[in-house]
Amino acid sequence: MNLFSAAEVAENKKNQPLAERMRPQTLEDFVGQEEILRGSLGKMISTGQLPSMIFFGAPGTGKTSLAKIIAKTQQSYFVKVNAALSGISELRGIVKEAADRRSFHRQNTILFIDEIHRFNKSQQDFLLPYVEDGRLVLIGATTENPFFEVNAALLSRVKIVRLTKLSVEDIKKILIRAVNFDEVLAEKNLEVEDEALEIISDFADGDARIALNLLEQTSFENSISVESLKKILGERIRKYDKKGDNHYDTASAFIKSMRGSDADAAIYYLAKMIDGGEDIKFIARRIVICAAEDVGNADPMALVLANAAAQAAQFVGLPEARIPLAQAVTYIAGAPKSNAAYLAIDEALADVKNRRDADEVPKHLRDTHYKGAKTFGNGKGYKYPHDYAEHFVKQRYLPKSMDDVRYYLPTDLGKEAEIKKYLQKNWENRF
């Protein structure tokens, strides 16, 4: 390379986006995904025994960077194609070059296919023999669940590696590294506020590319500060701290609004949490707990719907997750309320821990399945309720010293009114 071409390369690099300039070149520079790199993938990289793989994860988690680093560590030739733009004719050329490279130079080829879920069946099928005979080591990248988007035949020949969202701490490490080591930023002698880096790290929601792009935009103000961020983000900066008091205050208001049957307030606090970047699993857990604790048996469908919404939200992800969550929230807010089941279990737990006058389990209720059980009198005198009218028979279930104990006191609301009527009749006739 002569002086002119070297200068041209340096100038071209300066014109690249910050996210590209800061792409990690070694595993030591790579931030995040410690669990998989310490596990089987790390062992495969260190031994050089790499299978074909599909990296599955959210944008900005390092799928492309990790593929390039793997190729570099294995001294393999790296070819990148985008599934949305490539066809079988291009793949044929890549396969031929890979075969020649292996025959003449003893060098393996890593074919990196970005957005592999966009390949149709015929394109995926075309890759099968070359992945199988080792002419290509395929590394696919997708933000979509490969079990839904990739053919079973190809899936059976690759290892699925799931990359998780980067944490706020991971993103901040990447930003600090950019501030300290990027030549373009260094030339600007930027003043950097730690709070601004915190906001960018939180706002990026696990996407390193978004974080670096935002850092680069902010750097044009000649300082990376909260004020310069406000100019760029405007109203998108929210007063919602996922680790601070406002986080807990909002979650508390959310639950109390559902409990208090105010659907509008509950939806508002749901929106506030979603807009603030709250983890949808955290939100879903609050909804499920509220359905069981505050609605209970007054409307048993509330818990069914809450659990279904929690699963649906995780399955579809944001932004669509807001829809099943909103459905569950409004249902719970509009349902009749009862905390009788919640009070019952807490009172029973207190008795289990503190009560000393309770007898052992009545003999007629004890297990009879193990050898010798009947010699102890276990099960003797037990009456099978289904053998009697209305599937009920008078029989003691609690220890004798607890004959008058009542834990579950159903209300007169919703479905629980029917439960109360049934249990009350049976309780009065229990002996």
- Which one-letter amino acid corresponds to residue 334? G
* Structure confidence at residue 236 (pLDDT): 55
Residue with tokens 């649906």: 312
Q: Is 101's pLDDT higher than 60?
A: yes
For the segment 125-144, the average pLDDT, to the nearest whole number, is 88
For the segment 383-407, the average pLDDT, to the nearest whole number, is 83
Structure tokens at 184: 């373009």
For the segment 198-223, the average pLDDT, to the nearest whole number, is 85
Q: What is the pLDDT of residues 374-392, one digit of tens each?
A: 777 777 888 888 988 888 8
Q: Which of 57-71, 133-147, 231-245, 359-373 has the lowest mean pLDDT?
A: 231-245
Could you give the CA distance from residue 24 to residue 22 in angstroms, rounded to a whole number? 6
Q: How high does pLDDT run on average in the chain?
A: 85
* Structure confidence at residue 322 (pLDDT): 93
Q: pTM of this prediction? A: 0.54
* Structure confidence at residue 7 (pLDDT): 54
For the segment 182-201, the average pLDDT, to the nearest whole number, is 85
Q: Is 353's pLDDT higher than 60?
A: yes
* Structure confidence at residue 187 (pLDDT): 81
More reliable by pLDDT, 47 or 321: 321
Instruction: Find out whether the peptide bond into 319 is cis, omega within 30 degrees of 0.
Output: yes
Q: What is the pLDDT of residues 263-313, one digit of tens each?
A: 999 999 999 888 877 888 889 999 999 999 999 999 999 999 999 999 999
* Structure confidence at residue 228 (pLDDT): 81
Could you give the CA distance from residue 183 to residue 133 in angstroms, rounded to a whole number? 44
More reliable by pLDDT, 419 or 325: 325
* Structure confidence at residue 12 (pLDDT): 63
Other Cβ atoms within 10 Å of 194 Cβ, number = 10
Could you give the CA distance from residue 304 to residue 136 in angstroms, rounded to a whole number? 48
Q: Which of 90-94, 217-221, 244-248, 395-399 has the lowest mean pLDDT?
A: 244-248
* Structure confidence at residue 298 (pLDDT): 93
Q: Is 221's pLDDT higher than 80?
A: no
* Structure confidence at residue 237 (pLDDT): 57
DSSP-assigned letters across all residues of 297-347: GGSTHHHHHHHHHHHHHHHH-TTTTHHHHHHHHHHHHHS----HHHHHHHH
Q: Which of 119-133, 226-240, 258-272, 326-340 has the lowest mean pLDDT?
A: 226-240
* Structure confidence at residue 302 (pLDDT): 95
Helix (H) or strand (E) holding 289: helix 280-290
Q: Which of 9-23, 69-83, 178-192, 339-353 has the lowest mean pLDDT?
A: 9-23
* Structure confidence at residue 10 (pLDDT): 54
Residue with tokens 């609004």: 257
Could you give the CA distance from residue 348 to residue 338 in angstroms, rounded to a whole number? 17
* Structure confidence at residue 289 (pLDDT): 95
* Structure confidence at residue 93 (pLDDT): 92
Contacts 24+ apart (CB under 8 A), 395-402: 395/364, 395/430, 395/431, 396/362, 396/364, 396/430, 396/431, 397/362, 397/365, 397/430, 398/362, 399/358, 399/359, 399/360, 399/361, 399/362, 400/359, 400/362, 401/357, 401/358, 401/359, 402/358, 402/359
Residue with tokens 């052992």: 360
269 burial via Cβ count (<10 Å: 0-12, 13-18, 19+) = buried
Structure tokens at 124: 């995926």
* Residue 431 binned pLDDT confidence (cut-offs 50, 70, 90): low
Could you give the CA distance from residue 426 to residue 385 in angstroms, rounded to a whole number? 12
For the segment 37-42, the average pLDDT, to the nearest whole number, is 84
